[in-house]
Chain A
Amino acid sequence: MALFLQILSYGVINGALYGLVALGLSLVFGVMNYLNVAHGALIMLASYAVFWACYYLKFDPFVSMILVAPTFFVIGWILFQGLFQRILRFEEGEKIKNSLLISFGILLIFSNAATMLWTADERAVTTDYTGKVIELLGVRIPYIGIASVVLAIIVIVAVHFFLTRTYFGKAIRAVSQDNEAAGWMGINTKMVCLVSFALGVALATFPGVVIALQTFNPIVSFDLTNKALIVLVLAGVGSLKGVLFGGLLLGAVEAVSVFLVGSAYREVVGLLLFVFVLMFRPQGLGGRKS
């Protein structure tokens, strides 16, 4: 029983991370049908940013978010205006294909540039509380893990609040459901897409912090993008709750599989889940049928 709870706790901790990883990707895809596969690279860059903020400025990693998040919002703004805004006018299928092309290029460039500039060495941020665990019902839970879960909850609740209680947040939902009709409401859909994209990139900060507290190198870009895509499929388009549950589901499934068949198959299980959901419930756990 204690073993089961132990596995479950790791599943939840990782699951919370996966939810955070997919959040930015899901938001951008939902609003404007851009599949930004560079999202993993952006999380990787955020991890580096957190790392330096801790190393050079001596910030606590969770405090560094205050600096990193707005910075990445600006980075997202620039990326959109510079690279992604021309394809906004395309129709849905073309937008997905073209955004995939552009972002894949960015993924390669960012991850290779990071390797060239900062080497492939593994980095990690260590704090006073790294490695400390708390014992609960016979289960050992790392402090970092608890912090990650709490962060995930706070971020998702904040995003939910933004999307359901503010005019602009509702405008974002309107644009993601019917772009043209949103324009007829007087909503500046171009501006909504720009801000949503920048927000999506800024959201890379939070998984970035969590990753920074584990270990990372430029190559995590690809792993993180994979995880994000799997969770996106699990969650379905346009569902915030789905992202959380999809992340938790992936985390749980991985944790159980590690227990049953060993950690060698951990990644495979996620991909099997991905295929399974696409085959039997393509709209995802929370998505609408589209």
Chain B
Amino acid sequence: MLEVHDVDVAYGDIQALWGVSLNVQKGEMVALVGSNGAGKSTLLRTVSGAQKPRKGTITVEGIRADTADAHKVVDLGVALVPEGRRLFRDMTVLENLEMGGYIGRARKLKEDKLEWVYQMFPILKQRLNQLAGTLSGGEQQMLAIGRGLMSDPKLLLVDELSLGLAPIIVKNIYKTLKEINRSRNVTILVVEQNVRLALEVADRGYVIENGRITMEGKGQDLLASDEIKSAYLAIG
């Protein structure tokens, strides 16, 4: 579904990604983990079109995404749940969801998609006419994910959803993500600082350090590996 091949990304003179390659197969849930500043969010920003790579290619189901503008990438079936949520704070919950479903083909499915979002995150239905900026952190994250689902994506990119949220809320949201992945076959790529949490739910994982992919494997295998244990899980 997603093929990132040998990508270099730089912000001006500062290079953030070096020869990054990864892939996500249809129906998978893949985690990209690493510490702060490793380049995880940069990769998602590049896949979603906000950033252009200096080198390398990104394809979604065979179609080039790295040359497209951000709004065109959404047409390809890619939806980003941005780092920090980036909700439209002065717009209501419903309006935020509507904006998620802005593109043509999503508008036709609006009622359908809304029902699905309410199913996954019932609290949103209760807060429909509230301004997004007045929601709690967990509710905002749910809204951000719901907003991402409104465009009927084939691939959902979730950037650092655990930031600033209480652990129990994060756990529940990951459970819901897993369900979204399983029940509706939405391919998901999560980017996470919380290595354990991400690798527990993911089918496969990649580890990124200083802009380079250093490890790859099944979620459970990575969790069990000595390197991950000592570097990220404070064990041994």
Contacts and interface: CB of A to CB of B under 8 A. Distances in A.
Nearest to B104: A186
A173 B92 CA distance: 12
Given A173-B90, A181-B86, A187 B102 contact: yes
Contacts of A183: 49-50, 69-71
B89 A184 contact: no
B50 A187 contact: no
B91 A185 contact: no
B48 interface: yes
Given A170-B98, A171-B102, A184 B50 contact: yes
B98 A184 contact: no
Interface in B52-88: 69-71, 74-75, 79-80, 82, 86-88
Given A180-B86, A181-B88, A288-B90, A174 B71 contact: no
6 contacts: A167-B107, A170-B91, A174-B91, A184-B74, A186-B102, A189-B71
A70 B200 CA distance: 58
Contacts of B6: none
A174 B86 contact: no
Given A181-B86, A182-B99, A186-B75, A173 B91 contact: yes
A228 B70 CA distance: 34
A177 B107 contact: no
Interface of A: 167, 170-171, 173-174, 177-178, 180-189, 238, 288
A184 B48 contact: yes
A184 B91 contact: no
Contacts of A171: 99, 102
Contact of A180 (B50, B75, B95, B99): B50
A271 B169 CA distance: 51
Contacts of B146: none
**Closest 4 A/B residue pairs (Cβ):** A186-B74, A183-B70, A186-B103, A181-B86
B90 A184 contact: no
A187 B100 CA distance: 9
Contact of A238 (B86, B90, B106): B90
B50 A167 contact: no
A193 to B, nearest CB: 13
A285 to B, nearest CB: 15
A186 B106 CA distance: 10
Nearest to B78: A184
A246 to B, nearest CB: 18
B47 to A, nearest CB: 11
B42 interface: no
B151 interface: yes
